[in-house]
Structure 1
Amino acid sequence: MLQRLIVIVIASIFFSSSLTLAESKKPNPPDEFPPNPLEFTTADPLLPRSPKDKKPLTLEERLKLEPALDRLNQEAAAKLQAGDEVAAFEIWNRELRLRRFLGSLEEVQALSRVGAIAWNQNDRQEIVYITQRLQAIQKQTQSQKKSSEIDLELWRLLGQAYQNVRSPKQAVQAYEQVLLAVRQQKDTVALVETLKTIGELHLSWFDYRQAAPIYEELLSLAISQGESANEIVYLQQLAEIYAQTEQPQQSLNALNKLAEIYIKENNLIKIPELKLAIASDYESLGKTDPNFLVEAFENYQEAYTSAWQLQEFVRAGEALQKIISLYRSQGQIDEALEASQILVDTQTQAANFYAVMQAYDQIGQLYLERKEYPQALTAFQKGLELAQQLKHQEAYFTEQIKKLPKANF
């Protein structure tokens, strides 16, 4: 009896709680935007017949409607220029509703135009309306499953319209339909242009992983067609993509190919920066396989040598600093000190006295690691002299000197 009473009490509490929750539950919020005005089917004096009449317009009816819609566009633009944005988009929406009677191509072109204006005006509501209408046209086009030139042009226009309202995923979907068509047609020029558009779309929204296979295909096409200039562009893009996605091996493949091309073309000005990037990738791989560190050292050294020969002393200093960091990470203090002395000369040649000051600090710290305090004192004193001239970090170098054990001098 007691157990039954407990069950009844618990059930009563649960039921009561459920009622309370049901009563306190808020009703679903209303739609963020009112109904899409582009889908209204009310009669319009510019239409020769009811909007529900799906029969295509005659040539005469089209020739009468087109200039009337152009006038609506001009009227809306004038309203916007006068500062009446609400009235402007009301007129444009009317124009867009009527454009569909001229066919999908004309409608999408108009949607694209007004969509770009809505984006520039930061009119989020209008962008939603236009995007919804574009999606409806896309769905209708996909259901027809045609492959005519008109459909191909429509997909291109849809892609551009989605770009104008900043809907990259839908834009890519549209251009992928174009891609299927141009592949079937074996139209290499159109294929390259479409791939470039898709690649740029992915990059504009930092979707590097989706962009990678696109640029790999563009690279293959450029190589097959002997287009060395485009080959360089795509290799540079791939190197950046793989750097962003932290794929050092793939980045190395692109960078090494670039280096081969530049050396072959005797374009040596590009080599220091390239060698730095190559060395950095090898250093990243060296975190899991120390054998790659040898390649990192060699490429940093090549970066330094080529930069020095080209009198690019800032770049040479950058390469030396990387070499010093690698030496220190491997506990090679003698080699790090030797490279640091060279760094002082390099930064002096570059007239980068702030970097010279930092190099002296680095030398002082290296001598401290070896407990060679007189040498450390000399380095910090030179750093202090520069700090006083630059009026920067004077207190720091003074403190470093004060901390040195006095008994060792």
Structure 2
Amino acid sequence: MLKRFSIIITAAIIWQFSSDLTLAQSKNPLQADKFPPSPLEITTPDPLLPNLRDKQPLSLLEKLKLQAALDELNQEAVVKLQAGDKEAAFEIWNRELRLRRYLGAVAEVQALSRVGEIAWNRSDRQQLYYITQRLQAIQKQAQPKKAKTQASVDLELLRALGAAYQKVRSPQPAIELYNQILAEVRQQKDTIAEIDTLQTLGNLNLSWFNYPQAATNYEELLSFATSRGERQDELTYLQQLAYIYQQAKQPQKSIDVLSKLKEIYSQNDNQIQVPNLQLAIAANYETLAKENPALLPEAFKNYQTAYVTAWGLQQYARAAEALQKLIPLYRSQGQINEALETSKILLETEARAANYYGMMQAYDQMGQLYLENKDYPQALTAFKDGLELAKQLQHQEAYFTQQVEKASQASL
């Protein structure tokens, strides 16, 4: 089950490494020297703009006419890009973006977001730099003035900025914005908006591999889901937390979350997931036992329970996995006979799973354990059985031949 959780993060990993394309995070004052001045800051009058006396804002009619013209520019740029003329396309888009600011900050940010995503998809570092530079300027203007004791926050604009930063693959400023939004919606006691913002933050923090903060976000979401009796959401957040704690190497927290998941599946009579969870719990106890040996019995118990549960569900591959974990654990405690008996059970389990490679490895394990017990005839038999399978599979024949010779000589 935990392996399935890794799918959640795959896209985020790609995002993180590919985000090197963007220069949004650059604080180097010399960075601007790498590119010409931004075309988004050109102030030459544009024929699409009406004559604005005394910098008066556009009327509603003028805004509607400008919006229609800018939509046409966007379509023109799309056609240019599809024809393979990227330079001409971005020249048109930059003109559109310069003029979008006359329609208001939100409209401009949404356009920057749209074009920014295209720039990122085209690996255009220069265009990304211009767009993120403009987003940062808008963000700075959007912050309430400190002199005002109760300055209002434009949540619509902040959300648009957060979404735009995500489009240009700049998670860190997006996280800062959504944290600001979170504080505001909490002050407004808007629970729905708070949950939505926490979900966005959780995903963003995961994309940035910020596991402690992602855990905080999902713990809060879990609390909401539990208090509201939303069982499916509770299950989803527990799965996310299980993945996060696994990645963050926090075995005790992993055990707590996995135990809750196991309880939920058991209550729902959905046993199919339980062996996976028991295996994961056992592995975490095994990790903890390295620092606290008193916890080792818990690892044994959970591996054994995982085997029994999986066998009962006819999940023989999963049952074999539990046994494969138990054998080295027994050996580490000097319990060779127990390891040997478990190897015999493993052989039967691999046979039920029709895993011939697994059977071959089980024979090898048995042979090695018999050698350790100085039971050379039994070791020879195990290695010969392993060699027969190796010949059928055309795999590791030389190795098993060598082991047969070794056991034969030892028995003399």
TM-score by length of 2: 0.89
Q: How does 1:251-400 map to 2 (within 5 A)?
A: 251-400=254-403
Aligned partner of 2:220 in structure 1 is 217
- Cα deviation code 1:326-361 (max 9, x no counterpart): 101111000000000000000000000100000000
Q: Structure 1's 279 and 30: CA in aligned 2 closer, same or farther, altered over 3 A?
A: closer
Q: Give the drift of 1:61.
A: 2.1
Aligned partner of 1:103 in structure 2 is 104
Aligned partner of 1:247 in structure 2 is 250
Aligned partner of 2:174 in structure 1 is 171
Q: How does 1:36-55 map to 2 (within 5 A)?
A: 36-49=38-51, 54-55=55-56
In 2, the alpha carbon distance for the partners of 1:44 and 1:194 equals 39
SS of equivalent to 2:48: coil
AA partner of residue 34 (structure 1): P
Q: Give the drift of 1:53.
A: 5.5
In 2, the alpha carbon distance for the partners of 1:300 and 1:63 equals 68
In 2, the alpha carbon distance for the partners of 1:80 and 1:218 equals 42
Q: Give the drift of 1:282.
A: 0.4
- Cα deviation code 1:38-94 (max 9, x no counterpart): 1121111111236x9643212232122111111111111111111111000001000
SS of equivalent to 1:331: coil
In 1, the alpha carbon distance for the partners of 2:32 and 2:152 equals 42
Q: Give the drift of 1:390.
A: 0.7
- Cα deviation code 1:280-315 (max 9, x no counterpart): 000000001111110011100110001000000000
Deviates more, 1:355-364 or 1:209-218: 209-218
- Cα deviation code 1:363-407 (max 9, x no counterpart): 111111122211111110010011011111110000111123636
In 2, the alpha carbon distance for the partners of 1:364 and 1:182 equals 65
SS of equivalent to 1:48: coil
AA partner of residue 309 (structure 2): S
AA partner of residue 387 (structure 2): L
Q: Which runs of 5+ in 1 are unaligned?
A: 1-27
* Corresponding residue to 1:232 among 231, 235, 240: 235
CA RMSD of aligned residues (A): 1.7
Q: Give the drift of 1:209.
A: 2.3
Q: Structure 1's 53 and 282: CA in aligned 2 closer, same or farther, altered over 3 A?
A: farther
* Corresponding residue to 1:162 among 161, 165, 172: 165
Q: Structure 1's 84 and 407: CA in aligned 2 closer, same or farther, altered over 3 A?
A: closer
SS of equivalent to 1:95: helix
Q: Structure 1's 113 and 241: CA in aligned 2 closer, same or farther, altered over 3 A?
A: same
In 1, the alpha carbon distance for the partners of 2:263 and 2:107 equals 49
Aligned partner of 1:8 in structure 2 is none
* Residue pair 1:147, 1:181 contacting (<8 A) in 2 also: no
Deviates more, 1:203-212 or 1:120-129: 203-212
Aligned partner of 2:122 in structure 1 is 121
Instruction: Work out the number of aligned pairs and report it.
Output: 380
Deviates more, 1:254-263 or 1:307-316: 254-263
In 1, the alpha carbon distance for the partners of 2:115 and 2:224 equals 36
In 1, the alpha carbon distance for the partners of 2:197 and 2:265 equals 28
Aligned partner of 2:132 in structure 1 is 131
In 1, the alpha carbon distance for the partners of 2:264 and 2:96 equals 54
* Residue pair 2:380, 2:408 contacting (<8 A) in 1 also: no
SS of equivalent to 1:291: helix
Q: Which runs of 5+ in 2 are unaligned?
A: 1-29
Aligned partner of 1:81 in structure 2 is 82
Q: Structure 1's 392 and 333: CA in aligned 2 closer, same or farther, altered over 3 A?
A: same
* Residue pair 2:145, 2:151 contacting (<8 A) in 1 also: no
TM-score by length of 1: 0.90
SS of equivalent to 2:293: coil
AA partner of residue 138 (structure 1): Q
In 1, the alpha carbon distance for the partners of 2:322 and 2:253 equals 22
* Corresponding residue to 1:198 among 201, 220, 225: 201
Q: Structure 1's 53 and 397: CA in aligned 2 closer, same or farther, altered over 3 A?
A: farther
AA partner of residue 203 (structure 2): E
* Residue pair 2:286, 2:296 contacting (<8 A) in 1 also: yes
* Residue pair 1:259, 1:274 contacting (<8 A) in 2 also: yes
- Cα deviation code 1:101-146 (max 9, x no counterpart): 1110110111111111111222111111110100000010014477
In 1, the alpha carbon distance for the partners of 2:268 and 2:277 equals 15
* Residue pair 2:363, 2:385 contacting (<8 A) in 1 also: yes
